[in-house]
Amino acid sequence: MFSMAHNTGETMKQKIAILCSGGDVSGMNPALKRFVEYAHARGIEPYFIHHGFEGLIDNNITPASYADVTGIITRGGTKIGSARSKRFLENYYREIAAKNLKALGISMLIVLGGDGSFRGMERFYAEQGIAFCGIPSTIDNDINGTDYCLGVDTALGVIKGSIDQIRDTASSFRRAFVIETMGRNCGYLALISAMTSGAELCLIPEIPVNLHEYKGCFQSQISKGRDYFIAIVSEALQNTHEISQWFEKELGFESRISVLGHIQRGGNPSVYDRLMAYRFVTYAIDALLEGKTHSVICYTKSHFTFKTIDEVALHPYRIDEELLNLGREQFAPSHCQM
């Protein structure tokens, strides 16, 4: 009898799974590597859910080993794939997903994604009791409650490199270059990129701009020898072509548009994103093992905190006021050098 009880106890090892949802970011693969290594270190069995919530529904769930994560820390994207799932919005498919997890004995989930993914997991937890911890992972950096989302630093590095290269050719011709960054409804990427690249103009939804106020200043700069301009525009404004036309019609400057697009999501993960992936995953696993059942690990003021789904997903993100004030000052028409 003792031997049977002992063997049964050995089969009761806790199991945990991880999935990526929504847009991929550089930093997900380092997170997967840390997930496997730290789960084994804590004595729990790690599983991969391939292709997000779609894989959860389709039972595309596999044990994760050290061999699965060897060498992936240098790679952008996500080895286990990601997806946006309309099916997971339906109760019928969430029930299927829960049955798949319970059949494997998986009682904990880590979700790399955004607020929409977290809202879905909150409902999933309420219905099925599967504990989870969310890790903010979006280059848009637009999740309320956290100052930083996984992948942002790498994306900013890609944008920086692109702007620097565009400046090389801009300085060779008498042209204005209008560079559009991603960000969905948030201007974070555009603001930070404009401030750190020496751009002459920054346009984001958080800081309204009247282009007419810049005309005199820019004309004065042209008369004193300026022969190119760099303007950074957030995709949220949907006015990139309008800005390009403004340079041509109002300033007589030939203009070129560069939409950076999906290159911003890829690339070799930066040192900072690798470190943040390591820390995010460590906190998430520890939290689940300590009994936190439905939270999001956030990073604010250089500290990690856990917040409820309501705090994260039900309130709009707002760029830090200090950064906005710096942007207002740097790109204000009154600050423009004549």
Q: What is each CA distance from 230 to 192, 207, 250, 251, 262, in whole angstroms?
A: 14, 18, 16, 14, 20
Q: Is 320 a catalytic residue?
A: no
The H or E element spanning position 99 is: helix 91-104
d(CA 244, CA 235): 14
Classify residue 63 as left (phi > 0), alpha (psi -120 to 50) or beta. beta
Amino acid (one-letter) located at 146? T
Bridge partner list, 229 = 176
Catalytic residue among 140, 142, 153, 273: 140
Q: Compute the distance between CA of residue 13 and CA of residue 16 in angstroms, rounded to an integer.
A: 10
Rounded to whole angstroms, the Cα distance separating 95 from 88 reads 9
Q: What is the four-CA torsion angle of 12, 33, 20, 122, rounded to 10 degrees? A: 50
Residue 8, H or E segment: helix 2-10
Contact 304, 134 (CB under 8 A): no
Residue type, 28: M
What token pair was written down for 231?
């303007």
| Residue 302 Rama label (left phi>0; alpha psi -120 to 50; beta) | left
User: Catalytic residues, which ones?
Assistant: 140
